[in-house]
Amino acid sequence: MRIHHLNTGTMCPIGRRFVNGTGGIFQRARMVCHCLLLETNDGLALVDTGIGLDDIAQSRRLGPKWVRQTAPRLDPAETALQQVKALGYSPSEVRHLLLTHLDRDHAGGIPDFPNAKVHVHRREHEMAVLNKIAAPKGRYISDQWQHGPDWAFYGEGGEDWFGFKGVRALGDREPDILMIPLPGHTLGHCGIAVRGKDKWLLHAGDSYFFHGQMQTPPVRTPFVLGIFQRKADMDSRTRLANQERLRLLKSRHGDAVTIFNSHDPVDYESCRCGRH
What is the set of domains in the chain, with CATH numbers? 2-272 (3.60.15.10)
Measure the CA–CA gap between 249 and 252, rounded to whole angstroms.
5
213-244 pLDDT per residue, tens: 999 999 999 999 999 999 999 999 999 999 99
Q: Are 207 and 190 in contact (CB under 8 A)?
A: no
Q: What is the pLDDT of residue 157?
A: 80
What's the chain's average pLDDT? 96
Going by C-alpha positions, the residue among 145, 45, 148, 76 that lies closest to residue 104 is: 145
| CA 80 – CA 76 distance, rounded (Å) | 9
pLDDT-derived band at 78, boundaries 50, 70, 90? very high
Residue 42 one-letter amino acid:
D
Q: Which helix (H) or strand (E) holds 179?
A: strand 177-181
- Residue 158, by phi and psi: left (phi above 0), alpha (psi -120 to 50) or beta? left
Query: How many CA atoms lie less than 13 Å away from 175 in the CB half-sphere?
Result: 4
Residue 120 in 3-state DSSP?
Answer: strand
Q: Tens digit of pLDDT for each residue in 131-186?
A: 999 999 999 999 999 999 999 999 888 899 999 999 999 998 899 999 999 999 99
Q: How far apart are CA 121 and CA 190, in angstroms?
A: 7
Cα 94 from chain centroid (whole Å): 17
Hey, what amino acid is at 105? D
Would you say 170 and 42 are in contact if contact means Cβ atoms under 8 Å apart? yes
Q: Calculate mean pLDDT across residues 49-60.
A: 97
Q: How far is CA 238 from the centre of its chain?
A: 18
3-class SS of residue 60:
helix
Who contacts 248 (Cβ-Cβ below 8 Å, separation ≥6)? none
For residue 64, what pLDDT band results from cuts at 50, 70 and 90? Answer: very high
**Average pLDDT of the residues in 250-264:** 97
